[in-house]
Amino acid sequence: GVTVYQSHRNSRTDFPVLTCAVRVEDGKGCVVLGARPAKAARVELPAELAEKLSDYHENDLADALADLTAEERRKLYAILGVEQVAEIFSYLDDAEPYLKELPPEEAAQVVSHMDSDDAVDALDDLEEEDKEKIVHQMDKVDKDAADDVKLLLSYDEDEIGSCMTTNYICIRKDMTIRQAMSELVKQAGENDNISTLYVVDENERFYGAIDLKDLIIARAEDSLEKLIARSYPYVTDHEKISDSIDRIVDYAERSLPVLNESGKLLGIITSADVVELVDDQMGDDYAKLGGLTSEEDLNEGVFQSVKKRLPWLVALLFLGMLVSSVVGAFESVVAVLPIVICFQSMVLDMAGNVGTQSLAVTIRVLVDENLTTSKKLHLLFKEMRVGLVNGALLAVMALGFLGVYIHFFKAYAWGQAFLLSGCVGISLIVAMVISSLVGTVIPMLFHKIHIDPAVASGPLITTINDLVAVVVYYGLAMIVLIEMFHLG
């Protein structure tokens, strides 16, 4: 028998929200979707269960799969059918464990029913050997789907072609309005991205695009040519995602065509793809700002995490050694005036913080590919002015508070106390101005030589600014406090 438990309803839509609400019992075992069943109702046939589950979004069903065993999932797949299983798999963050549970023949059927870009995402999670087995079986199941997947797999993962989809409507420019409508109805059975129709010429080269609304309201005697937007934006298949993502976002279209070098239409990039690309780009940049070589996954192993973190840590280790050696060069200052070491970390931390702030602002500005040299110089001088003003304000605060602290807690005379706090204040001003400069110039330099500015990560900027702050602070202490005023 089959028991369906009705879960709670969404307060806004009054639609039942799946909290894993189904149990299937057949004497050999059961499929359980959920943990908190509410009111039970008997359903007699698996077909009725499939109908009940069809009311729920595939993303909810994808989330529920993790609560099932492999045997329970296989029973559920048989009830749902290949097409719905393919839709569910499209929403999985990691399809590998689920695809590996299926024989290659069944996995090939599921992947064949997925959009080409979703299919490639699912296959990318697999080992190369398993991937080849499934693609080989796809040739037998659906040759066209296999060819689409092979096309997308032929691109590097950082190229636009690797994330396009072949799910789109394509018509010829020499069709009539009636023929175009007929072709739309015919292709819509397999392709659901129908809001924009893409037009090609007799050589299959991209000719333009038609908005679905314009085609629907057109009269049969109208010319199709009048509906075609000839200057429709496009991207090319070998473009780097990082170089074109901002241009794609700026167009704000539901989808954009992807062309090859000769102008042939290969696929499209949808708005959903753009959202995913932007999210991936932000995640990758955030990872680099944290000193990682790429974004980490919560489910990945220790070795993979170490591999992503270690390269930067090794580089920063040697930079740290350089900073330590510079500090060692000022041993004579510390020996004569030990109190200066008390405020070293404060100067270094403030310099690092300012540099990281400038880095974040600069990276955000550099996404504008049309940024002129004058605007870059304006940004540079602005960041230096910001560093100067902030440094001056903090220097005044340091002069007052640290002077009082040194006098009362370190037993220095008032004059000596304020000399020491003044040295700290001046160091803050100089270090923060230079740190603002470094945090702006380095990402600009990386961008100029075509290296991702996010690589100029927080840890790198902080370490460089530590070096600057150490030289400034101890250099001023040696020149002003020891040589000029003979403190110690």
Query: pLDDT value at position 37?
Result: 40
Query: pLDDT value at position 456?
Result: 57
Per-residue tokens: 8: 């709670």
Element (H, E) at 235: strand 235-236
Instruction: Give CA–CA dist 436/354, Å, rounded.
Output: 6
On the 0-12 / 13-18 / 19+ scale of CB atoms within 10 A, 335 is: exposed
Tokens 């039970």 locate to: 40
Query: Which of 15, 17, 104 is CA-nearest to residue 63?
Result: 17
Per-residue tokens: 324: 């330590």
Dihedral sign for Cα atoms in the order 457, 275, 295, 120 = negative
Per-residue model confidence as pLDDT tens digits over 272-325: 888 887 777 767 666 665 555 555 555 567 887 788 778 777 888 888 898 889
Query: pLDDT value at position 389?
Result: 95
Query: pLDDT value at position 373?
Result: 85
Instruction: Give CA–CA dist 447/430, Å, rounded.
Output: 26
Query: pLDDT value at position 42?
Result: 44
**Beta partners for 205?**
264
Contact, 122 vs 92, CB < 8 A? Answer: yes
Per-residue tokens: 462: 């902080």
Per-residue model confidence as pLDDT tens digits over 408-429: 999 999 999 999 999 999 999 9
Query: pLDDT value at position 385?
Result: 94
Dihedral sign for Cα atoms in the order 367, 370, 376, 378 = negative
Instruction: Give CA–CA dist 482/488, Å, rounded.
Output: 7
pLDDT along the chain (488 residues), means of 10: 41 39 44 42 63 86 89 88 91 89 91 91 88 91 91 91 93 94 91 92 94 92 92 93 80 91 94 81 65 56 78 82 90 92 93 87 75 87 93 94 94 94 95 93 85 68 88 94 89
Instruction: Give CA–CA dist 173/269, Å, rounded.
Output: 21
Query: Which of 353, 351, 391 is CA-nearest to residue 471?
Result: 351
Per-residue tokens: 284: 């990758």
Query: pLDDT value at position 363?
Result: 78
Instruction: Give CA–CA dist 37/181, Å, rounded.
Output: 48
Query: pLDDT value at position 127?
Result: 87
Query: Which of 343, 301, 285 is CA-nearest to residue 481?
Result: 343
**Cα 456 from chain centre:** 17
Instruction: Give CA–CA dist 163/342, Å, rounded.
Output: 54
Instruction: Give CA–CA dist 35/154, Å, rounded.
Output: 43
Residue type, 13: T
Query: pLDDT value at position 269?
Result: 92
Query: pLDDT value at position 293?
Result: 57
Per-residue tokens: 427: 């160091």
